[in-house]
Amino acid sequence: MKKCMSLVLCFGLIVALLFSPASSDAKKKVKLNKKKVTLYVGKKVRLKVKGTKKKVKWKSSKKKVATVSKKGVVKAKKKGKAKITAKVSGKKLTCKVTVKNKRKTEVTRTKTPLTTKAPTVSKKPTNSPQYSPNVPNSGTSDNPGAVSSQSPSSSADPSQPPKGSDAPVQTSKASDAPNHTPKTSDAPVQSPKGTDTPAPTGSTTAAPGTATPASTPFVEQDVKSASFESGTDGFTARGSASLKSQSGGYKGNCLYVSGRTASWHGAGYEAGDQIVPGAKYEISAYVKLESGSTTVKCTYQPESDEYIGITSLAADTTWKEMKATFTAPASFSMFYIYFEIPDDAKASFYLDEINLRQLTAGTGTVEELDSIREACDPVFGKTGTCLTMSQLQNEKTLAYVKKHYSSFTLENEMKPDTVLRNWGKQLISTDTARSRSNDYVIPESYTESQVPDLNYSSVDSALKIAKANGLKMRAHTLVWHSQTPEWFFKEDYDNNGDYVSTDVMDARMEMYIRSVMKHVYTLDNGAYKDVVYAWDVANEYLNNNANANWSKVYGNRSGNLETEPPYLKKAFEIAHDMLSQFSLTESVSLLYNDFNTYVGNHPTQVISLINYINKGEPKKICDGIGMQSHLDIDYPTPDLYVQTVTKFANAGFEVQITELDITINNENGNFKEAGQTDEDQAKYIADLMKKLVAVQNTTHSITGLTLWGLYDGASWRKESHPLLFDTGIYDVKPSYYSFMDALRS
């Protein structure tokens, strides 16, 4: 009997194992629903793992081509190929993704080598975004085309905020705001202060930087050769380096690079006029060290803050050849190729027989886009972007800017750091400054014997380019705790000195504001008087540094000083008086500019601050608020943002949206992959812009909207894709279309 029962139990166990759910799952084949997929840019597909209910971990081999969310949603980003992998239960499943462009026309072009120009920017490559001004070489006077001689990481250069930013984005969440959208009225949109002639309409027949397909097959060609037999052959010094042609080269003479004081210093060549987007190139050079052994690196710089390594060479005191190929990006505003020694700040080296050869014709994709400013200007008065001087001086980029924008803000070159020459402070006598009446206004209260030698080179170049191309400028900024040298607040302008008294600082502030504004309005006998239409007189007072500069002199933001700082009121009084002298009070706006103006108690603080500035004045001296608007799709909500705009409008303020960008996958101000897509950004932008148009139709208070950058790749928040274009000025994102559709609606 016992034996029989044992047999029954064993049989039951076998049956249970064979037909249990786990066993059934094990028999199922775990696989992807798709092994291969083709998508057009902007489209999505959902991948699923069949045969299991366990958690799947997704990953893309090339996020720039295609991204994948935690739920397996694949988003096509740009033309190319990528592999999407799914890891589950120790298995790795793969789907091959091919991304193609849509609504685009393939174009091919070759370019005839042209005479090159000296580079306008030479910043040290760094993984942390730092600011380095576009400035003349040390010891030279105003020279907009020269190379910076100051390393951004030099001990002489104080730490700076992230490049192009005025402040980090705060992510504290406000309490739930009421869901309210102002009603749209049929009232006409109010024009901004003054009347301006619209910028010339950009050509709609062909996008800048494109050409018809070449009529003959491409033939490989040398586009730049340098043997240094009688000079530097167009190569320029990077940083403090000294260049000269001398004997003893690999063949004949060579280029001797000496006098380096930082690892990024070296020799470079601006090849932008010879580089074709999308073309493949080979670069070769012979390299030798003066002594010792270390690595020499060759890099190219397509934007003012982007550095792409080409190749490196283990060099010593014998001639060695460095050779590599690279492919030019689809768009760029400069193309500075340079040689440096990243592991040694002082080593001298030699270069010879440098050759740059074009291997392919190059292809690009161009979609003819409707002008942003033609849709935006009628609604918000002026449509702007932020630019570096290298972008502004690039012919292709400038043509693009003229088509899409009616104004621009210099990203860094009009900030106090640049004007005061913080990279290489120079002082001149006060008497000399007085004799330069177009550059300085020395008030009676200024009793010091010296004054900083002000650098207007970038400002002058920007004004002239703007005027010649029908563009307007926002002047950013005069009074700011960041990107203002600490020595400007110290006795004798000495970093090691004590902070000056309030009376001395009052005089310095007045000297600076009056001098900069007078220079702008008197340059070339007032030829550019109508270019600057707004000044950010003060920047980020409500978020300033309590332990340095303005706060050290005038006191921290406490008590009445929280929203009633006398020196800020004085700054606006000075700026308004300068506008009065040039009869510009009705056509130029003076603004207080700040970030996170929609967070918590900030709207109330902003209103109190501006009301204090205007209190007791014969007429308004602060016209309103510049809302920097570094937003994220998670915060603020479009409703909260627009409610803040409405509060400012109801307070009687002019509102300019001054630095708009909208991130995805951004947590606590930093990139963090969260599966958010460009479509998510586009939906947020559509909602935001529709609500802004509605409030504008009701209040007529917004007089300008500036997008903070041309495209993601050149943005200070590039990892979180904050703008309407991706890798270049023609790499359009879904957000562009939602932005335009909202304006037209």
Catalytic annotation, residues? 540, 659
Buried b (16+ CB within 10 A) or exposed e, 679-716: bbbbebbbbbbbbbbbbbbebbbbbbbbbbbbbbbbbb
Count Cβ atoms below 10 Å from residue 586 Cβ, excluding itself: 9
74 forms beta bridges with 45, 68
* Three state DSSP letters for 160-198: CCCCCCCCCCCCCCCCCCCCCCCCCCCCCCCCCCCCCCC
* Rounded Cα gap, residues 538 and 623, in angstroms: 12
Q: What is the DSSP letter of 87?
A: E
Both structure tokens of 28: 């199922």
Q: Which residues are CB-contacts of 80 (< 8 A; sequence separation ≥ 6)?
A: 62, 64, 65, 99
d(CA 150, CA 131): 11
Q: Are 309 and 380 in contact (CB under 8 A)?
A: no
Q: Percent helix, strand and coil across the chain, each rounded to 5?
A: 25, 25, 45
CA separation, residue 481 to residues 422, 545, 560 (Å): 14, 6, 19
Amino acid identity, position 365: T
Q: Measure CA of the first residue to CA of the last residue in the chain; give whole Å.
A: 86
| DSSP β-bridge partners for residue 84 | 60, 95
The half-sphere exposure of 511 on its side-chain side, counting CA atoms within 13 A, is 25
Helices 602-614 and 638-650: angle between axes, nearest 10 degrees: 20
SS3 522: helix
Beta strands in 578-719 (DSSP E): 589-594, 624-627, 630-632, 654-663, 666-667, 670-671, 702-707
The first and second tokens of residue 460, run together, are 């002058």
Strands (E), 566-698: 589-594, 624-627, 630-632, 654-663, 666-667, 670-671
Write the single-letter amino acid at 28: K
